[in-house]
Amino acid sequence: MFLSHFSFYISDKKSAETRKTHSHKLNKIVFNALTDPKIAIIISDMSIKNQVTTSIAHVHVYDSPIIKTIHHTVNIISTEAELFTIRCRLNQAIQLSNIKHIIVITNSIHIAKKIFDSSIYLYQVQTLVIFKKIREFLERSHHNSIDFWDCPSQDR
């Protein structure tokens, strides 16, 4: 129903040249977004060390940090942790009434794509909650949109 309102931009990890081009486009998008008060940027990163998952997320609007959160969880799979992080940050960005465009930057783009895959039963609770919030945001205005950008850890 809202296919034209969200996009995925995936980095080609095999080619250094296309990674560089992707990174340059992402830098330009972020720079432009930081000058527009109707765009929220969500930056999400996650790592696992010694069975402890750490997820860090930032939400920025108009060159101002809105919130930064760090979650530490034990014995949870990375997919659940990343979906939880994306869900929480999307909720915060969607609640801002003047936001028309959300840019999600993550090193786990393959997990972000699971939000839109209703055939994955294991994560249905997380994905249904996220998708409900996304739908509410997109229904507010036909101009609203969400972009998911891949930013591999090595391309910081």
Give per-residue pLDDT as tens, 69-112: 776 777 777 777 777 777 778 888 888 878 999 999 888 777 77
pTM assigned to the model: 0.81
Contacts of 9 (CB under 8 A, 6+ apart): 22, 25, 26, 147, 148, 149, 150
Residue type at 153 in one-letter notation: S
Structural contact between residues 155 and 30, judged by C-beta atoms closer than 8 angstroms: no
The answer to whether 113 touches 8, Cβ cutoff 8 Å, is yes
What does the pLDDT read at residue 122? 62
57: β partners: 44, 69
CATH number, domain at 87? 3.30.420.10
User: Which strands, in side-by-side order, build the sheet including 145-150?
Assistant: 6-9, 145-150, 101-106, 39-49, 52-61, 64-74
131: which DSSP letter? H
Query: How many structural domains are present in the chain?
Result: 1
Burial 19-35 (b: 16+ CB within 10 A, else e): beebeeebeebbeebee
Please check the confidence at residue 9 and state whether its pLDDT lies above 80.
Answer: yes
Helix (H) or strand (E) holding 138: helix 124-140
**What is the band of 135 on the pLDDT scale with cuts at 50, 70, 90?**
confident
Q: How confident is the model at residue 61 (pLDDT cuts 50, 70, 90)?
A: confident
DSSP H stretches of helix in 39-121: 78-94, 109-112
Structural domain containing residue 48: 5-155
